[in-house]
Structure 1
């Protein structure tokens, strides 16, 4: 074969590849747009498109009055089920939690990628408003600490110990070194769940973590029987983890006006509610932590702790201290 023939063949192949790349990138080509793209006459471009038409995934569509071609990923990979698309929509709705970081756009891009593979993409107009996550405040530490987030994500993925300085609720700062097991979203905030040197599980508020660095050789991620987040937090009333605290039976009496809400709302998995004879009773089996106390106090005068007795006394003292503060003001 002559060098001229080889050159022509290579040029034609290169043009075909360019058109295929355009279609796979989401562009739609008719003979005129293809001719402009390749720098050839429309008739030659039309021959290129007709050859490409036989490839898997290439579909013939209308572009005005002209015949055009596009690439349909679903025809070669299978369209994502509707449940996958809805899951992606809800996942993308978490974007505001990561405002100002690359993850906000990445979540939307992942959703849009899946929607682009669906034959029902037309049903997902205004999807940002149809499936929403109401972020009340979001993660205050972002985007200023996005480099720290990247470090923690890397440590979780690579199963590598991480060292950092941590400021606790009382503003004391201590050095920590943990095996990072999970990044958790709780009440619109990010937390790191890690195992400390003593083997105890601890929760760390992301915004209070400073100077995080991967430190040491990778560790073996625990089996599900050793670490299952669902089990770890089964008796917790929030993000606190304290194996030393025993599970208590809590009985709470609410004002009658809470009846409808209690019938349709669950604060904890162990919750059992009884609404009868003008009484609204809630039963929980949880480790009592500051979050439980704050939850009870949030009901104000419309809640009464019946059990355990020591918790009733503690809430009573806190209410009295609150009363004295207001009297003093």
Structure 2
């Protein structure tokens, strides 16, 4: 612990002009006297630390002292700092800030960041990401309730393996004890997530996704054609950015996307219904019928309005 503190202090002094002993003591939860002893040890190791007196006094590294910057270029450092900064915020991880301090110490110059990464999401239960990350590191079994795509609620116990951020959502991949196999769960559908006293040893990890080797899945992919009005253009670009697009003179567009089993793809239904009158499904015809039924079902709740 002392060694980690000494290393952290060295990098902080390299990154900042002057840091007071009081500020360092508060950050590392030790007394100012301990910081004074740490500074003496760092000086004895050959680092040229200077003491500054006065109201804004403290400790700093002698002007002109630099670390070896040959390991990483400024582009690499800036990118890593940006990503680590977002991870530090999402996972409430103070250790990531220590890594940022060390990286910034080898940056050739301070500049305005040209990259910003935001991994925050409002769809996850507060504290779920740090709890899952801790469970992965400590190999602790977690328990939670889960709402699946069929709107069924079940209780699960899982041996978490890794967290994934994809399609603007957080997922956790691990061994589901109820299904006795590896599964992927979306965090937004998890409730009452909590660690258990049980720990686990890794299984022979199965593939994350089922491998389709016979091409059978291709037979179930259909083209969905959607006509989008001018008022829904921006939303459609966000939701279907990879679709084939044909723009029209009135400001709207027609898009064509391949979808696996669109008549069972509830995720697609939800997106299309969210457009209201700004989008119309042209193909397949059966999907039009499904959306019509869901709209009529929703209208029953508002007949008296």
TM > 0.5: yes
Query: CA contact under 8 A between 1:60 and 1:70: conserved in structure 2?
Result: no
5+ residue gaps in structure 2? Answer: 1-5, 18-35, 54-60
CA distance in 2, matches of 1:219, 1:106: 29
Q: TM-score, normalised by structure 1?
A: 0.58
Return closer, same or farther for 1:321/1:140 CA change in 2, 3 Å cut-off: same
- Aligned residue among 90, 99, 117 for 2:106: 117
The alignment partner of 2:185 has SS state of strand
**1:144-223 equivalent positions in 2, closer than 5 A:** 146-147=130-131, 149-155=133-139, 162=141, 164-168=143-147, 170=151, 172-177=153-158, 180-185=160-165, 190-196=170-176, 197=179, 199=181, 201-205=183-187, 207-208=190-191, 210-213=193-196, 215-222=199-206
Aligned residue number for residue 3 of structure 1: none
- Cα deviation for residue 142 of structure 1 reads 1.1
- Cα deviation for residue 312 of structure 1 reads 1.4
- Aligned residue among 285, 295, 302 for 2:258: 285
Query: CA contact under 8 A between 1:138 and 1:188: conserved in structure 2?
Result: no
Query: CA contact under 8 A between 1:253 and 1:281: conserved in structure 2?
Result: yes
5+ residue gaps in structure 1? Answer: 1-19, 30-36, 39-44, 233-242
Aligned residue number for residue 228 of structure 2: 254
Aligned residue number for residue 308 of structure 1: 284
1:137 maps to 2:118: no
From the CA coordinates, give the structure whose radius of gyration is larger.
1
1:189-209 deviations in Å (ceiling 9; x for gaps): 642123544646432427425
- Cα deviation for residue 314 of structure 1 reads 0.9
- Cα deviation for residue 313 of structure 1 reads 0.9
CA distance in 2, matches of 1:253, 1:109: 51
Please give the root-mean-square deviation of Cα atoms over the aligned residues, in Å. 4.8
CA distance in 1, matches of 2:193, 2:161: 18
- Cα deviation for residue 146 of structure 1 reads 4.6
The alignment partner of 2:226 has SS state of strand
Query: CA contact under 8 A between 1:92 and 1:107: conserved in structure 2?
Result: yes
Return closer, same or farther for 1:72/1:119 CA change in 2, 3 Å cut-off: farther
Return closer, same or farther for 1:112/1:21 CA change in 2, 3 Å cut-off: closer
CA distance in 2, matches of 1:280, 1:113: 50
Query: CA contact under 8 A between 1:167 and 1:209: conserved in structure 2?
Result: no
Higher relative contact order (CA 8 A, sep 6+): 2
CA distance in 2, matches of 1:209, 1:247: 36
Return closer, same or farther for 1:132/1:176 CA change in 2, 3 Å cut-off: closer
Query: CA contact under 8 A between 2:142 and 2:157: conserved in structure 1?
Result: yes
Return closer, same or farther for 1:112/1:299 CA change in 2, 3 Å cut-off: farther
Return closer, same or farther for 1:256/1:269 CA change in 2, 3 Å cut-off: closer
Query: CA contact under 8 A between 1:251 and 1:283: conserved in structure 2?
Result: yes
Return closer, same or farther for 1:77/1:219 CA change in 2, 3 Å cut-off: farther
- Cα deviation for residue 319 of structure 1 reads 1.6
Return closer, same or farther for 1:215/1:318 CA change in 2, 3 Å cut-off: same
Aligned residue number for residue 33 of structure 1: none
- Aligned residue among 243, 247, 263 for 1:275: 247
